[in-house]
Structure 1
Amino acid sequence: MRSTLGAFLFGKKTHSHLPERVQAAIDKQQHESEKLIGWVQLLLVTIFASLYAISPSATMSNGIHPVPWALGLYYLFTLKRLALAYRNALTDWFLTLSVIADIGLLMVLIWSFHIQYMQPASFYLKAPTMMYVFIFISLRSLRFDPRYILIAGATAAIGWLALATYAVWSEGGKAMITRDYVMYLTSNSILIGAEIDKIIAILLVSLVLAIAVMRAKRSFIRAVTDEIAARDLSRFVSPEIADRITHADQQIKPGDGEAVTATVMFTDIEGFSSIAEKLTPKELATMLNEYFTEINAVISHFGGVITQFEGDAMLITFNAVTPDPDHALNAVRTALAIQDISESRVYSFGGKIKTRCGINTGEIIIGAVGSESRLTFTVHGDAVNVASRLENMNKQYGSYILATETTMHTCGDHADIPEWIYRGEATLRGREKPTRLFGIAPPGPLPSLASDTSDTPNGQSTRSA
């Protein structure tokens, strides 16, 4: 019952222990809020001073003028508070003291009016400056901490009760008590019910604001947690896929997907097992991090999206997640840039890394695969399988880039793309019709074509020069 009421009033409860990075993000927002509060307070004291400066002074006493002193003290306190806010040096006790001082100085300012204008104490009970109490209370809602709203409200209620009590017990105060509302409004009479109404209004406004801020705080914590989770998700999958998942209009379900014409590229490190055998796990991890960081930069530059990692292999798509009218061309440019890195880059283990690329263009399905509790966002279809087979066939062709005829024609002729070399035909595993293969050969004679009985249904490769 208690938890149900709490959820009804304050919203769904968050975890009691927040991750350090979530708490850090919330604290940062709180610090920024305190800066804003400081500037608003400085604006308020400036408004007070301006109104005081332009108000008529004919009826004022010629003795002590407490208003300028109260305003000056409050101005200095506000400047000190603002300086501490920019230094992130506002402790809980100082914030509590600040809230009490804000309300306290305002009450002193209101109290001083009857001295300043030489009127009975009841005079200040009708001062419109009292409305600033609600501004100071609501000002605390800029920070996601209802404690300070309640402290401000309680201080204001106690302060106004003290002012009303002082007015009643001051010289002639009891005699000025009335039950006539018109007399109350048109004279310095005291209406006890009116002062009680003000105190009740202060407490209710504080309570409502505290509940609203508590609900907002819980929503804010969930939003920050979700934002950090989405940001972390983009480190494990591509930012484009993470953005697509988090901004979907409806929750993504198994089987949700769409058909698009795209270019798919598979990459794999040549001789990875041999390299891994010679390295310690730490050295291997360092090498892979260097490799993937550099390759990812190239892929992103040409608009590709790493859809999936499989060990040292990558599945990269163009025009599947993000629109790209030149998807085939950019895929080929990516493959060529990877080859340039393979020739020039020496990695931490002291050697180079050769990368094989298989490229195919066709219709694919991009979407979620799996169960309700566990999904993988990937691409699938015959065009994807062909690209995977081509990457593997680089071994028998002695090449590092193999593409289908569809990719070659879609790519078109461009000055930065070397001449395509026809590699022949091969019946890929799982397909009945032969596929025409094209590559971009390195300088020098082409290696002889070897047969791959695993890629033909009858054990024979179909090829032509």
Structure 2
Amino acid sequence: MSTLQKYSSETAPGVMTPPAVPPRLPALAYAVADAFRAPETTARLPPRVAELLRAQDRAAERLIIYVQLSLAAALAFLYILAPRPEDAPMTMLAPVPIALFVYTLFALVRLAMSRGGATPGWFVIPSIVADMCLLLGLIWSFHMQYGEPPAFSLKVPSILYLFVFIALRALRFDHRYVLAAGLTAACGWAVLTTFAVMDSPAGAVTHNFAAYITGNRILIGAEVDKIVAILLVTLVLTIGARRAQQTLLTAVREEAAGREIRRFLSQGVAEQISKAEELIEAGHAAEREAAIMMIDIRGFTPFSTTVAPTEVVRMLTSFHARIVPIVQANQGVVDKFLGDGVMVTFGAVAPSQTAAADALRALDSILEEARAWQNSLTELGLKTPLHVNAAVASGTVVFATLGDATRLEYTVIGEAVNLAAKLEKHNKAEKTLALFPLATLMQATAQGYVPFHHPVSRNAAAVAGVTDPIDLCGYPA
């Protein structure tokens, strides 16, 4: 049964539908088709991703210009110092120095333009054409320079620099420029071959390969081979540049997404995730000697019922903006923002020999900063008083990954966590700003901690939820 009969028999009489799945093309055909597809425009990308791509594009364009300047300098150096054949004239007005000078000047103009941003496409394409025309013009000048027939220029080894110029465009993550360079080179060599044939005396074109190799004769097949080689190299580099472009786009998207996601994670936790050598799974746990700090804002509930929600958020944001830098400066990690509270860990995410000392140093600085923050609220006309209370406890904790395969979270589990939470609430009973066990103070002192202010003692304090009385230290309200 033919394909037409097959589709006709499976549909209504006289109606033929196309196949649901197009016939599969060879992988190379897909790659070639993809190479000629226009790159994804930045207009369809999120602004932050588009800006990252533009930055990469500007850097790539400057890299190409620097390579071009280096290439021009290297060629000039070789032209001046390299031993020369006896029949090779050397003068600063020869075609090679002139071409190098114009090439360098053009590269410097492009470098100046790139300083103000990405070089526009309308300038890049003409610059590619100009580069190729300059090189092809230099190649064509050789037969005149040496007084030989035009066929002489077609054998000059400088044709190899056409491949260098094409490859240079692969440094920029836009395959269209590679394609433009390759097509310009191929068309240019075809034009050069045509000029050589037209400008040569009768009998210059030969079908004898030996005659072509040993004399100033033109073998059309050999020139076609060169054009085919240029096109093949262009195709390979275009496909490679296209794949690199897609990889860059994916990487930039992931980098932008990673940056945004890391803002929702504690700095230490983000580093743990990014540096993990194995897949992170639920149930991973590590036992650490750590210190836990709990911070809470007293009077927050009455305050939140008297002002607009946006004002509540602005107040909390201003508070967090003051204390988070203090936490980070003392090697702490914000574990959670608990509404008007904050849970901070020291030595839990990464092992530390000074966790207790770091926690109490951070506590002292946070209490000082909290006073300044409270004054700023008063100056804004806030009638409801707000006070910052805190507590610190140290001990053995477990830094663990909880959740399932679709949702994971790092958290800290242990008696020190529970005790810190209970001590923070116990501030109200003791009328203190902050509390911490005497054992934590002694441990911190052994680690080099020196209090900003002399803490008061609360011996054998009965803390709700704690079975035995505990010796505490704290700062009075």
TM bracket (short chain): 0.7 to 0.9
Partner of 2:474: 440
Return the offset for 1:422: 2.8
Deviates more, 1:102-111 or 1:217-226: 217-226
Partner residue, 2:65 = 38
- Which residue number in structure 1 is paired with residue 367 of structure 2? 339
Structure 2 residue corresponding to 1:290, chosen from 311, 318, 341: 318
> Quick check: 1:103–1:156 contact (8 Å CA) kept in 2?
yes
Offset at 1:67? Answer: 4.8
- Indicate if the aligned counterparts of 2:461 and 2:472 stay in contact, CA closer than 8 A: no
**TM-score, scaled relative to structure 2:** 0.83
Spell out, residue by residue over 1:214-266, the C-alpha distance to the aligned partner (whole angstroms, 9 max, x if none). Answer: 22222222222222222222322212211211221123222222221211111
Encode CA deviations 1:331-374: one digit per residue, 9 max, x unaligned: 11211222222333322444674221122212222232222222
Deviates further, 52-61 or 189-198: 52-61
Write out aligned runs for 1:151-190 (5 A): 151-172=180-201, 174-181=203-210, 183-190=211-218
RMSD of Structure 2 on Structure 1 (CA): 3.0
Q: Distance in 1 between matches of 2:27 and 2:411?
A: 43
Aligned to 1:421: 457
Paired position in structure 2 for 1:404: 437
How far the C-alpha of 1:275 sits from its partner, in A, is 2.4
| 1:89/1:319 CA distance change after superposition, 3 Å | closer
| Aligned length, in residue pairs | 438
The answer to whether the Cα contact below 8 Å between 2:462 and 2:470 also exists between their aligned partners in 1 is: yes
Q: Does 1:124 align with 2:160?
A: no
1:115 and 2:148 aligned: no
Instruction: Show the 5 A alignment for 1:128-277.
Output: 128-172=157-201, 174-181=203-210, 183-277=211-305
Letter in structure 1 aligned against 2:353? P
Give me the identity figure in percent. Answer: 36
Residue 306 in 1 paired to residue 306 in 2? Answer: no
Change (3 A) 1:138 1:77: same
Deviation at 1:134, TM superposition (A): 0.9
Structure 1 match to 2:6: none
Shift of 1:159: 1.0
Residue aligned with 1:440, SS = strand
> Unaligned stretches of 5+ in structure 1?
444-465
Corresponding letter in the other structure for 2:252:
V
Q: Secondary structure in 1 aligned to 2:132?
A: helix
1:92 to partner: Cα distance: 1.1
Q: Report the AA paired with residue 336 of structure 2.
A: Q
Whether the aligned pair in 2 keeps the contact of 1:263 and 1:360 (CA below 8 Å) is yes
- The aligned counterpart of 1:97 is 126
Structure 2 residue identity aligned to 1:308 = K
CA contact (8 A) 2:354 2:444 kept: yes
Confirm or deny: 8 A CA contact 2:288 2:351 kept in the other structure. no
TM-score, normalised to structure 1's length?
A: 0.85
Question: Which runs of no fewer than 5 residues in structure 2 stay unpaired?
Answer: 1-21
- Shift in CA distance, 343/423, structure 1 to aligned 2, threshold 3 Å: farther
Letter in 2 for 1:375: L
Asked if the contact 2:367–2:388 (Cα under 8 Å) also holds between the matched residues in 1, the reply is yes
Deviation string for 1:176-225 (max 9, x for gaps)? Answer: 424334x4333323333332222122111111111112222222222222
How far does residue 385 in structure 1 lie from its aligned partner after superposition? 1.8
- CA distance in 2 between partners of 1:68 and 1:283 (Å): 70
Give 2:50's aligned amino acid: Q
Contact 1:266 1:316 in 2 (8 A): yes
Aligned-partner SS, 2:263: helix
The residue aligned with 1:392 is: 425
SS in 2 for 1:236: coil
**Aligned residues of 2:166 and 2:234 also touching (Cα < 8 A):** yes
